[in-house]
Amino acid sequence: MKSFMETDAAAADAGLFAALDRATLEQEFDRLLAANGPALARLAATYTNMPSDRDDLLQEIALAVWQALRRFRGECSARTFLFRIAHNRAIAHLARSRTHRAAAVEVANVHDPAPDPESGLAREQTTQRLRGAIQRLPLIYRQVIMLALEDLEYGEIAQVLGITESNVGARLSRARQLLRDLLESGT
Amino acid sequence: MSVDAELETWRREWQSEAAVPLDLRRRIERQSRWMRIMIAADILVTIVIGGGAIALAVLAPQRDFLVLAAATWLFLAAAWAFRLSSSRGLWAPAAKDTAAFVDLLVRRCRAKLAATAFGAALYACEMAFCLGWIYRHAAVKTPLAEWLLFGSASIDVVWAITLAFFGLLVWYRRRKRAELEWLRSLNYS
């Protein structure tokens, strides 16, 4: 049997993983999360920069992926499937935490307590600046630029967000303009 | 800069942020919490045992109690010297990436293995001194070897504790060795 990571739309049949035993399904799940762990962490970081909140979101995404895995029918790539779930969870998380936002803002501005060694400091600062700018984008632009930076094609981004490819193009163009402005202004 | 080059630059910067797996971060945080608790416990032991030994020497200024107080502080000093030297650089990773986190876990694991060896040696020295001190202070008439083996129920308890202590050390070392193997198998360093 092909690995989940190798699955493509052509090879996929309806109920692709429905018949798998639990152990095999767990292996595929682990493999999927391990391969996309850094991307998921970056995704989570665009929705919240509080470490504890980010961890909660990542756990929620993992749980949602596990619950949806048996229903995966292979109409899209595994990565698209994963990002679609992750984005849905992130939006739900954002909506839920909106009520707590006022209390959270102060904490969110606290820098991660992990150390910044001099060797990686410059790179770290550039990445932080980019991440900070992306976090300040309106949600619809934040989503599309984040997926583009994760190397997703227009078609994949459209599938993840449930919009048309032309809409992706328009949003991405606007997102880049806004991001450029934010980076240049340095705010 | 062309539009595509710009996006490519952002992409490189964006993806250069290597996320540290959640379980590694939690493991580090858990260990750090334990390290703080252990330091607090060591300070408490130093105050209670070291202070007690000094109090005893002050209240009963005989040669035996002065020797006991001096030896107690010698052992405490040795323990603290080892602790401070072995825990240097173990409080935080050198960078915020997975390799640095794994490296920290590996160094902590090695430090714990070294601590078990040191702990065993220190315990043996302390036992030798304490038993010798008690034998001399209590002016036991029984020959030393006989006293050590069949001296009293208290001596039997000491041997039982010693056996349990070394058994625990062996178990702990095996666990830490297995953890070290696992960390090495991650191939991050």
* Model pLDDT, residue A94: 80
Lowest mean pLDDT among A48-52, A84-88, A105-109: A105-109
Taken in order B47, B48, B49, B50, the sign of the CA dihedral is positive
C-alpha radius of gyration, chain B, whole number = 25
With a cut of 70, list the residues of chain B below it in pLDDT. 1-3, 17-23, 96, 187-189
Where are chain B's structural domains? 21-185
Q: Which helix (H) or strand (E) holds B72?
A: helix B63-86
Asked if A117 reaches chain B (Cβ–Cβ under 8 Å), the answer is yes
* Architecture of domain A116-187 in this structure: Orthogonal Bundle (1.10)
Q: Does position A106 have pLDDT exceeding 80, yes or no?
A: no
d(CA B123, CA B117): 10
Tokens at A97, concatenated: 């935490």
Q: Which helix (H) or strand (E) holds B104?
A: helix B98-137
Tell me the whole-structure pTM to 2 decimals.
0.52
- Residue for token pair 């750090």: B32
CB A78 within 8 A of CB A4: yes
CA B170 → CA B164, B182, B184, distances in Å? Answer: 10, 18, 21
Helix (H, G, I), strand (E, B) or coil at A146: helix
This complex has an ipTM of 0.70
Q: Name which of A128, A115, A124, A61 is nearest A91 in CA terms.
A: A61
Chain B: residue nearest A116 by CA?
B95
Asked if B18 reaches chain A (Cβ–Cβ under 8 Å), the answer is yes
Q: What is the pLDDT of residues A31-46, one digit of tens each?
A: 888 788 888 888 888 8
Q: What class has domain A1-114?
A: mainly alpha
Where are chain A's structural domains? 1-114, 116-187
| List of chain B residues whose C-beta atoms are within 8 Å of the C-beta of residue A119 | 95
Q: Which amino acid is at A153?
A: E
Selecting from B14, B22, B95 the residue whose C-beta is nearest the C-beta of A117 gives B95
